[in-house]
C-alpha cells in the first residue's frame, strides 16, 4: 500500500489527517520493524506488513503487487558463504524476487 493510498482511505473514513502525517507515521513503523518499505519498479514506495516476524524473503508480482512470503534456507547458506569468503561479518540481507503471478499471467490482455 502506498502512503497516498492509505491517506485516501483514511480521508474516505472521515479522518482529518495530512499526507505528511501519514508518511511520518509510516516511517516510525518502518524504523520499529513493524512494516517493510519497498520501492516498486515504477519508483513508487509502498509499505507492507508481513505475517511473520521471522526472517524471510518475498516473491512480488510486478503487475498487481501481490506479495508472497517465502523461506529461503538456500539463500541463507549462500549469503553466509559469500560474506565469509569476502571477510564480511554481521551481515544482513533482503531478497525480493520479482515476476508475474499466475493470476496476472493468465489474465486476458487489456487493450
Binding site members for Zn(2+): 61, 64, 101, 104
Q: Which three cell numbers stand for residue 102?
A: 499466475
Read off the DSSP letter of residue 14.
T
Work out the number of other CB atoms within 10 angstroms of the CB of residue 104: 14
Residue numbers in the known binding site are 55, 61, 64, 76, 93, 101, 104
Residue that the C-alpha cell 490482455 belongs to: 109
d(CA 25, CA 28): 5
Dihedral in degrees, nearest 10, Cα atoms 10, 15, 19, 21: -110
The SS3 assignment for 44 reads coil
Residue numbers in the known binding site for Fe cation are 55, 76, 93
Amino acid at each position: 500500500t502506498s502512503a497516498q493510498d492509505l491517506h485516501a482511505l483514511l480521508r474516505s473514513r472521515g479522518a482529518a489527517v495530512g499526507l505528511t502525517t501519514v508518511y511520518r507515521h509510516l516511517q516510525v513503523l518502518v524504523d520499529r520493524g513493524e512494516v517493510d518499505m519497498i520501492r516498486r519498479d515504477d519508483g513508487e514506495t509502498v509499505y507492507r506488513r508481513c505475517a511473520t516476524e521471522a526472517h524471510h524473503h518475498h516473491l512480488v508480482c510486478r503487475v498487481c503487487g501481490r506479495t508472497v512470503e517465502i523461506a529461503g534456507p538456500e539463500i541463507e547458506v549462500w549469503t553466509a558463504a559469500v560474506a565469509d569468503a569476502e571477510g564480511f561479518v554481521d551481515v544482513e540481507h533482503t531478497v525480493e524476487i520479482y515476476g508475474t503471478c499466475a493470476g496476472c499471467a493468465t489474465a486476458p490482455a487489456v487493450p
